[in-house]
């Protein structure tokens, strides 16, 4: 298919032109891969990214090195682009599928992460693929396995697992009592994971410090310019470490906490940053404005479709991570979910085109 070939070609060319790039967290992954290959234990935040460190180690072990890693990331992204096509095509036909991949190809702000030694590219590819597999009834086992793998690549993936469990329970269990019992079990597992298991296993959770970031009013990681003023309160020694302290503070100051979470989401969605150039911010607005509008239009038109609702749930799980912690200074977190939004935006193009420009008819299927 020509759109997938174009996607792969554009991104391989980008890697060839700019070369392999290193981010702030790249040493964490590279050092972790070397430790893994040497049979040494992972330290500090590294266990939270075991999946991606294993991928880096595999690239090193095969002799491909970091350039091989970048090529592997482009290959995974191309598979994800095929999934983007499949989602849009399932909603509104092949034309929408092609438009979705074209949108994804054009988005250099998202595609640039394929050249970086960072976990974001692989995670975004896994997330869109897992979402598609979870929607399909015959691929639930594969979806579960891929979701666990994604959670090992980036901790944000753990938020999708309870969401997919609830989705499957709500979709496939019709008896109210059995459904309620299953939902209660999911809630109990989440509480144990957040307050008991995660603080002991995730060095990343303690490094991010959701309790401290909440008290300080921080919206963007490592940037103080857009902080919100939060009420002073004594530090409570709550179970669950920093996460427990965040819960305790939120209970004390619910209005301020909700306001901060909303501010973080606003920064996340708008995607502009005060330290970007005017031209950079303008390009972001001119691109994302129509993309958001087209996606919202399609969501309204296809609001009864189960696949649309599920895509929005997955996007919401990643937005919840931002609301609870912070927006990223370089906008990487939005790159995790844009591949799930582009099929919706492409459906908006297809539906609007059918109505006003006599484009191919939208072959909508009901989920």
- Tell me how crowded residue 356 is: count the other CB atoms within 10 A of its CB: 8
DSSP calls for 32-87:
HHHHHHTTPPP-TTGGGGHHHHHHHHHHHHTT-HHHHHHHHHHHHHHHHHHHHHHH
Q: Which residues pair with 220 in a beta bridge?
A: 223, 327
The token pair at 298 is 């399609």
Q: What separation in angstroms does the CA of 261 have from each of 160, 195, 255, 266?
A: 19, 20, 10, 9
The whole-chain average pLDDT of the chain stands at: 89
The token pair at 74 is 């482009």
Residue 238: CA count within 13 A, CB half-sphere: 19
- Chain mean position to CA 309: 16
For residue 245, what pLDDT is reported? 75
CB 315 within 8 A of CB 340: yes
In the chain, domain spans: 2-356
Phi, psi of 75 (to 5 degrees): -60, -45
DSSP calls for 257-316:
HHHHHHHHHHHHHH---TTS-HHHHHHHHHHHHHHHHHHHHHHHHTTT-HHHHHHHHHHH
% the chain with pLDDT above 70 = 89
Alpha-carbon distance of 239 to 236, in angstroms, equals 9
Region 115-142 average pLDDT: 96
Sign of CA dihedral 69, 72, 78, 84: negative
- Chain mean position to CA 339: 9
Alpha-carbon distance of 118 to 25, in angstroms, equals 7
Alpha-carbon distance of 360 to 123, in angstroms, equals 34
Alpha-carbon distance of 38 to 355, in angstroms, equals 61
241 pLDDT above the threshold of 90? no
Nearest to 292 by CA among 333, 334, 264: 334
- Give 181-232 pLDDT, tens digit per residue: 888 877 787 776 665 555 555 555 555 566 677 888 889 988 888 989 888 8
Region 138-147 average pLDDT: 95
> 165-174, 183-192, 226-235, 299-308: which range is least confident on average?
183-192
DSSP calls for 315-328:
HHHHHHHHHHS-B-
Residue 90: pLDDT band (50, 70, 90) is: very high
Cβ contacts of 240 within 8 Å, gap of 6 or more:
194, 195, 196, 198, 199, 247
Cβ contacts of 209 within 8 Å, gap of 6 or more:
242
- Tell me how crowded residue 255 is: count the other CB atoms within 10 A of its CB: 8
84 pLDDT above the threshold of 50? yes
pTM: 0.91
């Amino acid at each position: 298919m020509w759109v997938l070939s174009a996607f792969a070609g554009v991104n391989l060319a980008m890697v060839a032109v700019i070369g392999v790039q290193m981010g702030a967290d790249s040493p964490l992954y590279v050092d972790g891969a070397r430790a893994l290959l040497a049979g040494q234990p992972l330290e500090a935040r590294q266990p939270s990214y075991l999946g991606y460190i294993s991928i880096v180690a595999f690239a090193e072990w095969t002799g491909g090195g970091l350039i091989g890693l970048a090529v592997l990331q482009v290959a995974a992204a191309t598979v994800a682009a095929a999934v983007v096509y499949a989602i849009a095509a399932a909603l509104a036909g092949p034309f929408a599928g092609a438009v979705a991949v074209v949108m994804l190809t054009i988005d250099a702000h998202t595609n640039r992460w394929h050249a970086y030694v960072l976990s974001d590219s692989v995670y975004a590819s896994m997330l869109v693929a897992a979402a598609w597999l979870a929607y399909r009834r015959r691929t639930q086992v594969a979806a579960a396995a891929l979701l666990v793998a994604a959670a090992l690549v980036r901790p944000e993936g753990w938020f999708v697992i309870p969401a997919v469990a609830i989705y499957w329970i709500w979709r496939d269990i019709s008896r109210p009592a059995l459904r309620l019992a299953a939902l209660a079990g999911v809630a109990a597992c989440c509480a144990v994971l957040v307050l008991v298991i995660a603080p002991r296993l995730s060095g990343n959770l303690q490094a991010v410090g959701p309790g401290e970031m909440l008290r300080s009013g921080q919206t963007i990681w490592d940037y103080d310019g857009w902080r919100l003023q939060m009420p002073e309160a004594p530090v409570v020694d709550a179970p669950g470490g920093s996460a427990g302290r965040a819960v305790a503070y939120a209970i004390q100051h619910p209005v301020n906490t909700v306001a901060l979470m909303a501010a973080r989401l606003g920064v996340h969605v708008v995607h502009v940053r005060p330290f970007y150039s005017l031209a950079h911010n303008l390009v972001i607005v001119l691109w994302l404005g129509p993309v958001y509008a087209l996606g919202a239009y399609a969501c309204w038109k296809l609001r009864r479709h189960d696949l649309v609702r599920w895509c929005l749930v997955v996007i919401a799980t990643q937005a919840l991570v931002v609301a609870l912690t912070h927006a990223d200074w370089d906008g990487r977190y939005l790159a995790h979910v844009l591949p799930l939004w582009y099929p919706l935006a492409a459906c908006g193009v297809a539906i609007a085109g059918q109505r006003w420009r006599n484009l191919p008819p939208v072959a909508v299927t009901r989920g």
